[in-house]
Structures are given as structure tokens and as C-alpha cells.
Structure 1
Amino acid sequence: MSTTPPPGWYRDPSYPLTERWWDGTAWTDHRRQPEAAPRPPEPPRPAAVDSRRAKAVTLTVAGAVLVASVVTGAVLLDRDDDGDRTQTRTAPGGSSPAPRPTVTASASGRPSEDPSVVVDELNGITLPLADGWVRAENVAEDDVVMTTPGTYDCPGDPGLCRHGRVSSRTVTANDEKSPRALAENDIEDAANSAYDRDLLDARPYRGITSHRLVKAGSVAVAGRAGYFVRWRVRTAVGPGGYVESLAFPSSVGSQSPVIVRFAFDAGDGGPPVSDMDRITEGIRPVGDADTGGGVGSSIGPPGR
């Protein structure tokens, strides 16, 4: 024999935040906000109400299982290729792991830069990065654009030397415009800078003992008329080397003359002298990969 609760205010099964009047046999339409005092046990619920509550409990349990499965799956997926656990981060307000950013770099380590060239924005040219060459890093001279990788102990005064360097600079010290005159006037300074005294006034090769002209002539550089002079220098210690001054008008701005200097060690470790020609032939105006040059190529006008 079942006992029916007496009439009174009880938690409303349909709206748990309110109280509803139970008349002893059925629910009425009278509701109120619950009081702070504890309430008597709730009366038996009608079959329809119990059915809805049972469904709600079932859905809540199922949702909890689903969330646990998602979190477990995220943790299982967040492992590296060797099966080691990696750190899992949680997105704000959610239980799924936050996406991790992917960093992509080019072969040069500079995402937006062509790994096959060095860009000289000031003079409006690009120079090809030939095999065995790297972009200049940790070099004291500001104008150096590429070097051979690595260093060695200089044979003369203490310091570190490199087997090859290429530099590019704008001529601003005089009004001379002739590429030939510029190259011929620059070659001695280029040789002294490379093999006589460095920026600290040290003599890494104990100075130049002699030099001879190897080659000189007109050359097309990035479609412009240029001129080069190449020397073979001998030093007091070490194998000496080859130096070249290459002069041509810039294709940008005021078309100020540009001088590209080459300094290659002779003997073992030094780059092939033919790289001077390869780099010269590969010089291009910025944004124009089709305009080339080289010894024997057709030469355009020095100006516009």
C-alpha cells in the first residue's frame, strides 16, 4: 500500500528552480520562488515526468561519455611520430586541443627570399649564389654580399680569413662615370683590401709582394655596358689570390656606377676563378630575371 505525500509546496519537477503546490493527489498551477528553509522530500512524479527525467539523465551520461571520448582521442592523436607524449593545449572554453602553428621556411631560412640569389636592393641587382657560396654573415665589411663557407687561421697576423668574398658597393666618391676608368682605378684598392691590410690595420698575409694582370675587358652586366680588371696577387705568406674589380652603371635611381669586387684565394681551398665569370653572367636587375650579360654578350647603352 503506497503513501501519498500531504499537500504542500514542493520542487516543481518541470522547473526545478521554482516550487509548485501539491494538493495531496495532483499538481496545481500555483508556483512560487523557493524559500531558504529545507523542503520535505518530493512526492512521486507522474509517469510522464519520470519518463522525461530518465531521458535527461540518459542524455547527460551519453554526453559525458562522448566528451571523454573526444578528449581521449585528442590526447592519443597528440603524440609525435616516435609515440612520445607531447604537450596538449586546451582551447578557451572547450575540451579539444588547440591547433599548433606550423612554421615553414625556405632552404635559405628566409621564407620570402629566393635561395638561389643574393639581393642588393641599394644597387637594384641580384647576384647568383653559386655552388660553394653562402650569404655573408658575421663579416666586418658592410659591402660583402657572399662568401665561401667557413674560415681559417690567417697565415700572417692573427685573425680569421676566408677563401672567397664578393662585395658590391655604389661609387659616390668621384664624378667618374666610365666603367673602364672606374675598374682600372679600383683594382689596386681592391687588392690591398683583400690581401694587404684589413680594417683593423692587421696584415693577415704580411702584405702583397707582386701582382700581374690576368684579364681585362668590356662585359655586359644586367644588360648594361661594364668593364672588369682581374689581377693575380702574391703575398709574403700564404698562397696569394685573384682579385677583380667589375664596374657598371646601376639600372635604378640615378644610375650611379656600381663596383663588384671579387677576392679568391689561390691554391687549395680557394674557389675556382671561373666563378667570377659565372657570377658576373648571372647578375640581373631586381625584378627582371631575363636580362643577363657576360663577356661577349651584346651590350646595351650605359644609360636609358
Structure 2
Amino acid sequence: MTPPGWHPDPGYSGNGPAQERWWDGAQWTGHVRASPGAARRRGIRIGVGVTVGAVVLAAIGGGVYLLGEDGGGGPGTAASSPSAVPDPPGAPDGGEKDGEKGGEGNGDGQGPGEQLPPTEPGFATDLAAGISLPVPQGWKGTSGAVGAGLTTGEHACPGDTAETCVRGGVFSAPAAAMKLTAGTPEEAAKKDITLNAQESYGGKSYGKISSHEELKSEAVTVAGGKGYVVRWKVVTEKGDDGYVESLVFPSPTSKDMLVVVRSGFDVNKDAPKLSVLDDITRGIKAASGAGGGAGGAV
């Protein structure tokens, strides 16, 4: 999976201080800042899935891997080369753009001036999408101004043991933040599942995907809106196989906005059961105080 956040700049030449570049969940932007990791390492950050602060989780799953610093997610694959692009949804006000000198962000993946998501016990809130994801017992939930995520079961990635993967991950973001432009929830879900599978299990952490089996493709009601879900089982080159799911539905606070929830679980005795994924889907609701419909999936 691949979520937005501050990540090591893939175009860094090695000359001068290390820097980070903002990944918007689909491509590298023109926002850069000095790398906090150049001075110290801080906890864990989720690369293929969740980022702390502005959490657009664009890719996820058991294939989600953790990159070694807190406060931001990094792409799960070696992604695109750096280039200056228009400011993406959720991009930080802090940091600087290529060729500009500006202030740094606060180091937690959230730029100065970004609106903090509301705190709701037991839920991870995606402020931009207007939804909250239920956090299963024992899981880690991360709220964000753009995007939210749930992860569990950290372990060494089978294809690159220097990196850390998770047994399960669920991540949300507005479809626009993922550059997903398909018109209907069904069209968007069917388009996104291929990207989800590749980003979750097709990179160096699990090797290439040799085949897949479609387990589900159907309409579903989520948070009061009519959506669509597609679920695959993928066979990987290295390590465990995986389940990936792309769920798309209208935001309960803005019917013109589509929300994407990407999920991925390892096929492993230590991974969550698929029933947990179904429980999470049923528990998705409008963010507290955001208005709009609430309710689970049917």
C-alpha cells in the first residue's frame, strides 16, 4: 500500500542534508523538508499504509510495511521520480517546495495549520472523508486530517527483512486524494483493487503477485451510503499470500465525495481472520459531530 506523508526523498543525491518529500498517496509532490531522521530515529512509521497526522493511506494490507520512523507513511514500492505537481489534498502547509525556502513541518507527518481530527474513543477518524473506522481490540488506530488507518501484527517483511510488515491493515482516504477518478463506487472499487493488490503485495516486501482469485464483488451499504466492495486472494512470490479488499462508498458528510477503504490481511495463522475485516466494514460510521448518516454495512 502507499499512503501520503513525509518520506525520504527518492531523488536525494546524497549531497547535503537528507530531506523528505511529501507523498500524496499516488505520486511525489513538490513539497520537501529536512529529514528529522537525519538527527534521530523515532519509533515506526507505516509505509504502505498509514501515516501519523495526515494519513492518506493509499495502499495497505498485510503487504503494508513499516519504514522505521514514526509520523508518516512511505510508499511500499519504489514509486515515481520526484516532480513538482499541484498541491494535493491534505498536503502540508509546512515544509518547502522545490526551489523555495520555507519552514519545516512539525515532524509528526502533519504540517502547521492542518486541522486535527476529533478524538473518539475506539475509532480512528478520517477528517477529510468524514468517517470513523472502528479499532479492533489489540489493533493500532491512527486518525488524520486526510485519511485514517488500522494496523496489527508487526513482523519482518519476507522479501526484505530489514523492513517491518504488518499482518493486517485497513486504510481510508477520499478517492480524490488517491487520484482515483472513476465515477461510481462499483467502477472505482474494480479499478482500485488491482492497484491495492500490487501496492500491498507486489513490491519488494512480498515479491511479485503470480495470480489472484476474486472472492467477492458486490454492492454494500456503508455508513448509510450505497457502495461497492471487491475482495481478492493473491498468491505472492515470497512469504505469505494475502487477502486484499477495496471498498468504495459516498462520504456520509458529502454525497459528491467517494471514500476508498483499502484492506489487506496476510494468509497466516497469526493474521486477523476475514471476519474481523467484515466487522470493521460494518462498524464504519460518520465521524462524530460531522453529521450525515451512520450505520454499518449490509
Q: Structure 1 length as normaliser, TM-score?
A: 0.53
Aligned residue for 1:192, secondary structure, equals: helix
CA distance in 2, matches of 1:253, 1:228: 20
Q: Is the 8 A contact 2:230 2:247 kept in 1?
A: yes
Instruction: Give the percent of matched residue pairs that are identical in Structure 1 and Structure 2.
Output: 37
Query: How many Å apart are 1:147 and its aligned residue?
Result: 0.4
Choose between structure 1 and 2 for higher RCO, CA contacts under 8 A separated by at least 6 residues: 2
User: Which residue is equivalent to 1:163?
Assistant: 167
Matching residue's letter, 1:114 = E
> Structure 1: where are the runs of 5+ without partners?
1-111, 198-202, 296-304
Query: How many Å apart are 1:207 and its aligned residue?
Result: 1.6
Q: 2:294 aligns with which of 279, 282, 291?
A: 291
1:276-287 matches, within 5 Å, as: 276-287=277-288
1:250-289 matches, within 5 Å, as: 250-253=251-254, 255-287=256-288
Query: How many Å apart are 1:219 and its aligned residue?
Result: 0.6
Residue by residue, what CA displacement relative to the aligned partner does 1:22-65 show, whole Å, maximum 9, x if unpaired?
Answer: xxxxxxxxxxxxxxxxxxxxxxxxxxxxxxxxxxxxxxxxxxxx
1:217-228 matches, within 5 Å, as: 217-228=218-229
User: Which residue is equivalent to 1:210?
Assistant: 211
Is 1:134 the counterpart of 2:137 in the alignment?
A: no
Question: For residues 291 and 254 of structure 1, do their structure 2 counterparts lie closer, same or farther at Cα, with a shift above 3 Å needed?
Answer: closer
Q: Is the 8 A contact 1:219 1:293 kept in 2?
A: no
Question: For residues 175 and 114 of structure 1, do their structure 2 counterparts lie closer, same or farther at Cα, with a shift above 3 Å needed?
Answer: closer
User: Which residue is equivalent to 1:238?
Assistant: 239
CA distance in 2, matches of 1:256, 1:290: 14
Matched residue count = 175
User: Which residue is equivalent to 1:152?
Assistant: 155
User: Which residue is equivalent to 1:61?
Assistant: none
Residue by residue, what CA displacement relative to the aligned partner does 1:105-155 show, whole Å, maximum 9, x if unpaired?
Answer: xxxxxxx83321111111001111112311249xxxx84511015x21111
Q: Give 1 or 2: higher strand fraction.
A: 2
- Give the aligned CA root-mean-square deviation in angstroms: 2.3
CA distance in 2, matches of 1:289, 1:250: 8
Q: Give 1 or 2: higher helix fraction.
A: 1
CA distance in 2, matches of 1:196, 1:136: 24
Residue by residue, what CA displacement relative to the aligned partner does 1:76-133 show, whole Å, maximum 9, x if unpaired?
Answer: xxxxxxxxxxxxxxxxxxxxxxxxxxxxxxxxxxxx8332111111100111111231
Matching residue's letter, 2:279 = R
Runs of 4+ aligned residues of structure 1 deviating over 4 Å after TM superposition are none
Matching residue's letter, 1:147 = T
Aligned residue for 1:162, secondary structure, equals: strand
Q: Structure 2 length as normaliser, TM-score?
A: 0.54
Question: Rg larger in 1 or in 2?
Answer: 1
